[in-house]
Structure 1
C-alpha cells in the first residue's frame, strides 16, 4: 500500500470545531479504501477511525484534534 504523511500543522479547524485535512482525490487514489494512522510518542503508527468525506474531487479527513500521521491507500 502507498501512503502520504501529514503533520498536525496541516489540519485546519472548521466551523463545527473539528480539525480537517484536505486532499485532492487524485493524490491519494480514487474510490480506494483509505486507512488513517496516527503516530504515537514512540514513533509507531496506530489505526484511528477518523471521519472521511468526499466532495467535488476532494477528500476531507476530520478529527477532534490535530495529529501527525499518514493516510494509507491503494495505488
Structure 2
C-alpha cells in the first residue's frame, strides 16, 4: 500500500459546504476506490477517519470539518 501525506496548510475551505478539503489528482493516487484517510494525532500516531471523499473530473477531494495533518493510503 502506498500513501501520500498532507498538512493542515494543504486544506482549502469550501464555502458551499463549510468544510475544508484537500485535493489529489487521480493520476497520483488512482481512481480512489480503496482510499483510507488517516489523521495524525499529537503522539505522531495515525487514526483512521471516515472522511467524505468527493470526485470531480480528474480530482479527488478529502473533506473534513477542520484541517488536520494526515495521509491517504491507496493501492498502487
Same fold (TM over 0.5): yes
- Structure 1 pair 43–27 and aligned structure 2 pair: CA distance change class (3 A): same
* Cα RMSD for the two superposed structures: 0.9
Deviates more, 1:31-40 or 1:44-53: 31-40
User: How many corresponding residue pairs?
Assistant: 75
Which consecutive residues of structure 2, in runs of 5 or more, have no partner in the other structure? none
Within 5 Å, which residues of 2 pair with 1:1-75?
Answer: 1-15=1-15, 16-75=17-76
Indicate the SS of the match to 1:33: coil
TM-score by length of 2: 0.94
TM-score by length of 1: 0.95
Query: How far did residue 55 of structure 1 move?
Result: 1.1
User: Whole-Å Cα distance in 2 between the matches of residues 31 and 38 of structure 1?
Assistant: 18
Indicate the SS of the match to 1:65: coil
User: Whole-Å Cα distance in 1 between the matches of residues 67 and 5 of structure 2?
Assistant: 13
- Which 4+ runs in 1 deviate beyond 2 A? none
Indicate the SS of the match to 1:27: helix
